[in-house]
Amino acid sequence: MSEHEQLTTANGVVSGHWVPMAGWGRRVAARLIDEALYLVALTPYFVGWFVLAGALPGLTVVSTNPPSSSSSVDLGTLLLATGLMLLGSVLALVAFIWNRVIQQGRTGQSIGKSALSLHLVSATSGTPIGAGTSFLRELAHVLDGFFYLGYLWPLWDRQKQTFADKIVGSVVAHAVAAPGPAPAPAPGAGDTAPGQLPGSLPA
């Protein structure tokens, strides 16, 4: 896909003018927004961790009331903390799958990309890559993580692709809304007064 080429939206409608591939800084900002979403989903995990940390220093589990040791963790507290941590982990995983795999695959936009007008699309067709390919792209990001070289690769790559993008054949484009049609002239705006030449001022 060449730069400035129009892309196809999730609804199958060609729209918008597309500038050169999205810059590295804009992609990083979109990813940070996505990460903030996962941190929100992890809130129960952090609460559970603090509950457990507040019940330490001991890890001896007791079910008696009162506890037989001042360093023991009450069984109810342990179950509460574990449940909260498990809930937070599940919520974060669900948020990740929905945002980065399903939503991004079907529409080309995660929450972060949507906020910054970025679209993840096929490098050949300009259409969203689909949930399956988006999932493979997330797995391929493991290669990008080695010394962060793959994540930095868009800084000098012609199509601004990470290693994961090259593997699945995707690019990230920055969409700019297409200018709308010129407004129709107001009724009577082009009429001339009797005896008045077109383009002349009224006497």
Whether 23 is in a domain gets the answer yes
Whether 7 is in a domain gets the answer no
Task: Give the β-pairing of 170-176 and 17-21.
Answer: antiparallel
Whether 63 is in a domain gets the answer yes
Domain that holds residue 62: 17-176
Whether 160 is in a domain gets the answer yes
Task: State the total domains in the chain.
Answer: 1
Q: pTM, whole model, 2 decimals?
A: 0.73
Q: Diameter of the chain by CA atoms?
A: 108
State yes or no: cis peptide before 183, omega within 30 of 0.
Answer: no
Distance between the two ends of the chain, CA-based, in angstroms? 58
- Whether 48 contacts 82, CB under 8 Å: yes
What's the CA gap between 193 and 3, in Å, rounded?
50
Whether 168 is in a domain gets the answer yes
Whether 34 is in a domain gets the answer yes
Q: What is the pLDDT of residues 36-80, one digit of tens each?
A: 999 999 999 999 999 998 877 655 555 555 555 545 668 889 999
Q: What is the pLDDT of residues 101-147, one digit of tens each?
A: 999 999 999 999 999 999 999 999 889 999 999 999 999 999 999 99
